Amino acid sequence: MFLKRLRKKFRRLFFGLPERRRPEDSPASAGGPPAARLPDTGALRSGAAAWGGILFVPLAAFLVLAVLALLLSKTPGRTLGFFFFGPFRNFYNFGNMLNGAVPLNFGGLGVSIAMKGGHFNLGGEGQIYAGAFTATVCALALAPLGIFGGVLALLAGACLAGAAAGFSGFCKARWNAGELITSFLVSAALILTVNYLVNGPFLDPETNLQSTRKIAAALRLPLILPPSNLSAALFAALAAVVLTQLFLERTKPGYEIRMAGANETFARYGGINTALNTVLAMFLSGALYGLAGGFAVFGTYYGTVKEFSSGLGWNGLAAALIARFYPPAVIPSALFFSWLGQGARIAMQNSDMTVEAVSIVQGVVFFLVTSLGLRDFFGKKLMNRRRKK
């Protein structure tokens, strides 16, 4: 009996498969609503193959980097050494690597919530940027309130970014507009709007950077590994993982989001408001992106630098795809992408490795990750459409 329970927990934890049920235990046989289609006997093998594909991604990236170093670098050993071990050479590099993983962690959690509900949020870039700008402006205005004002500023940034993503969810629920397109277009509009505000009304005249004024020193998060940029935002990112997992697994709204994402027709038949859950899932996704921008302001930049979020939204998406939208697994995924970026910068600074070579490696990683993730996502969409028919 113990081994049987252990096997069920293993299947659910690693492959996301429900417990096997006998045909006579299904709701349909008891006169209830039609049950969702249960996985076939090959589901366990397909889950193992999918995880094998995900584990292949970092190995493929390292292989591509090694080939490029051998072909393009005059000192391939030195280049690879700085790339792989550079982030661990001192506290400065190591702290910056951990700090780079913080916004990717928030972004990966945001994508995971949206995907659990069966939605795809492509607006991470603009949502991080808008959340950061809103948090900056509110922190400057609420500075007399101290820490309480800082908390309000963070929440304001999260709510604005959440509203931007929630608007895409509303368009999908109301008019069946694809959230892939609407979230991307809204993000593009947000980036242009914030660029205008940073360069115009809110530009800091005391610096040569295209940036807003700095927030008060009392609102800045304490550093953990000086002289690196790692701040207490790291603990907020870890807490966000725990809270996201508890929300999805232990709360009624989280359960409804997961059920609607697994089988929308079955969820609607069971009384779940799928339209409301569409908006909620997208709102929470955007809010986590907004927190990524807010903590970047309070812990790293202390203001909104023009287009500092470039690439963060896409890397957060890739981190979630590697983690297969399982919140605890977002942590190592974010660390992997941060290690990739930090190692590339260190290799470029200390060897003859070029920016183009680094871009090729990052492009290969993103291509492999998105191809695996999108295959699963659109495969689920196609299966749900067939169920509707």
**Amino acid letter, 133:** F
Confirm if 307 and 191 have CB atoms less than 8 A apart.
yes
- Looking at 86-217, list the stretches that DSSP marks H as alpha helix, in order from N- to C-terminal side: 91-116, 124-141, 147-175, 179-199
Domain harbouring 255, CATH code: 1.10.3470
Is 252 a member of any domain? yes
The pLDDT value given to residue 361: 75
Is 168 a member of any domain? yes
Quote the crossing angle between the two packed helices 312-322 and 274-296, to the nearest 10°. 120
DSSP code for 37: P
Is 329 a member of any domain? yes
Residues in CB range of 80: below 8 A, 6 or more apart: 65, 66, 69, 347
What are the backbone dihedrals phi and psi of residue 305, each rounded to the nearest 5 degrees, phi first? -90, 140
Is 9 a member of any domain? no
**If residue 370 lies in a helix (H) or strand (E), which one and from where to where?**
helix 355-388
Question: Which one, of 106, 136, 116, lies nearest residue 277 by Cα?
Answer: 116
Residues in CB range of 320: below 8 A, 6 or more apart: 107, 108, 109, 110, 111, 112, 115, 330, 333, 373
**Amino acid letter, 346:** I
Is 18 a member of any domain? no
Number of domains in the chain: 1
Three-point CA angle 344, 348, 352, nearest 5° = 130
pLDDT in single tens digits along all 389 residues of the chain: 544 554 554 445 434 444 444 444 444 444 444 444 444 444 344 344 434 445 666 777 778 778 888 887 888 888 889 888 999 999 999 999 999 999 999 999 999 999 999 998 999 999 999 999 999 999 999 999 999 999 999 999 999 999 999 999 999 999 999 999 999 999 999 999 999 999 999 999 988 889 999 999 999 999 999 899 999 999 999 999 999 999 999 999 999 999 999 888 889 998 999 999 999 999 999 999 999 999 999 999 999 999 999 889 988 998 898 888 899 999 988 998 899 888 888 888 888 777 777 777 777 777 777 666 556 655 555 555 555 55
Domain that holds residue 177: 58-388
State both tokens at 112: 């995971």
Is 34 a member of any domain? no
Is 231 a member of any domain? yes
Is 152 a member of any domain? yes
Q: Rounded CA gap, 212 and 366, in Å?
A: 32
Residues in CB range of 108: below 8 A, 6 or more apart: 316, 317, 319, 320, 323, 330, 333, 334
pTM of the model: 0.82
